[in-house]
């Protein structure tokens, strides 16, 4: 059986920056991880030379942590046809994000495709492709992974066909891949819970499994087709541990990093911490530990 590639969204902040991200992944027992290059709610970013990349890369290499995934901030919208300045800013920012990801040695930049803000799905798809054609450098190594979306508001990318329509309009489509989010795809209406392999077969028919390069392994607070996009701690949502464990260990996705973005937990808002090390341990063991999870959901952190 192939080694399980399992990790989570870890922090990157002062003073250790990327080195701190690698250290956190190690503490969590991970062999892959995802970062935002700054806060996901804004586009303020530190210069590349301040990110402690050399030290972080050395520690990751020493501990066989790979690949690294970057997530673009979700406030940029390539699908906006009504505000040219917003589209132009998104293009300029994402060009720089490609450079940051390359410097970090990331293999993938996960990107929410965008929203049509009233102009309609077709217009947004064309606009997203137009933006990607301006962003992509034919010589870049990192791929831009379009994420499967839940369908809240005017989001596009809620069906495999929409993602394929974007890919088909991009000149250097070899620089594009897909991030398959289990919560989003279920919320979009796909039957992840009882027929994951059937969903994967459909993905393969429409897009091709060779493009699936990242899995966001998230439970969902809502039932299939809810279009809500609300992640839940592994084992406590609609999908449940057994379904997500099957996805984590699927031989069809053996080389794809599985990244968790589940919410912080704790007894109250002042005492919140990451469930990821415990979730990682359960996926490695292939078994849900209800006592452990109940404990961390309601008490102070173990460490």
**Residues 239, 230: contact at Cβ < 8 Å?**
no
The answer to whether 276 is a known ligand-binding residue is: no
Handedness of CA 287, 288, 291, 297 (dihedral sign): positive
CB neighbours of residue 185 within 10 Å: 27
The answer to whether 204 is a known ligand-binding residue is: no
- Identify the CA nearest to 10 among candidates 31, 41, 34: 34
* DSSP one-letter string for 146-159: EEP----TTEE--S
The answer to whether 9 is a known ligand-binding residue is: no
Tell me the backbone φ, ψ of residue 276, rounded to 5 degrees: -60, -40
The answer to whether 174 is a known ligand-binding residue is: no
Angle between helices 53-62 and 17-27 (to 10 degrees): 20
What burial class does residue 85 get, using C-beta atoms within 10 Å of its C-beta: 0-12 exposed, 13-18 middle, 19+ buried? exposed
The answer to whether 168 is a known ligand-binding residue is: no
The answer to whether 71 is a known ligand-binding residue is: yes
Tell me the backbone φ, ψ of residue 219, rounded to 5 degrees: -80, 165
* Alpha carbon distance 61, 66 (integer Å): 8
Task: Find the helix or strand (DSSP H, E) in which 58 lies.
Answer: helix 53-62
The answer to whether 116 is a known ligand-binding residue is: no
The answer to whether 294 is a known ligand-binding residue is: no
The answer to whether 30 is a known ligand-binding residue is: no
Residue ranges at the known binding site: 71, 112, 147, 181, 184, 216, 229, 231, 261
Residue ranges at the known binding site for Zn(2+): 71, 112, 147, 181, 184, 216, 229, 231, 261
């Amino acid at each position: 059986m192939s080694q399980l590639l399992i990790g989570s969204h870890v922090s990157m902040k002062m003073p250790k920056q990327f080195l701190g991200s690698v250290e956190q992944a190690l503490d969590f027992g991970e062999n892959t991880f995802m970062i935002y290059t700054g806060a996901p709610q804004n586009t303020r970013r530190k210069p590349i030379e301040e990110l402690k990349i050399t030290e972080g890369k050395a520690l990751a290499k020493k501990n066989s942590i790979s690949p690294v995934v970057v997530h673009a901030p979700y406030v940029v919208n390539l699908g906006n046809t009504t505000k040219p300045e917003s589209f132009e800013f998104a293009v300029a920012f994402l060009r720089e994000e490609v450079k940051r990801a390359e410097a970090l040695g990331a293999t993938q930049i996960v990107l929410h495709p965008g929203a049509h803000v009233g102009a309609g799905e077709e217009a947004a798809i064309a606009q997203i492709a137009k933006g990607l054609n301006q962003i992509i450098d034919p010589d870049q190594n990192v791929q831009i992974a379009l994420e499967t979306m839940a369908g809240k508001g005017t989001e596009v990318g809620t069906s495999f066909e929409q993602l394929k329509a974007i890919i088909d309009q991009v000149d250097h489509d070899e620089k594009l891949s897909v991030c398959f989010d289990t919560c989003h795809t279920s919320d979009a209406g796909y039957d992840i819970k009882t027929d994951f392999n059937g969903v994967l077969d459909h993905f393969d028919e429409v897009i091709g499994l060779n493009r699936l390069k990242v899995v966001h392994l998230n439970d969902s607070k809502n039932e299939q087709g809810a279009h809500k996009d609300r992640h839940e701690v592994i084992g406590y949502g609609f999908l449940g541990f057994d379904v997500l464990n099957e996805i984590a260990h699927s031989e069809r996705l053996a080389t794809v990093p599985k990244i968790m973005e589940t919410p912080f937990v704790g007894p109250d808002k002042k005492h919140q911490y990451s469930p990821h090390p415990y979730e990682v341990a359960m996926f490695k063991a292939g078994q849900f530990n209800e006592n452990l999870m109940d404990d961390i959901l309601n008490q102070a952190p173990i460490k």
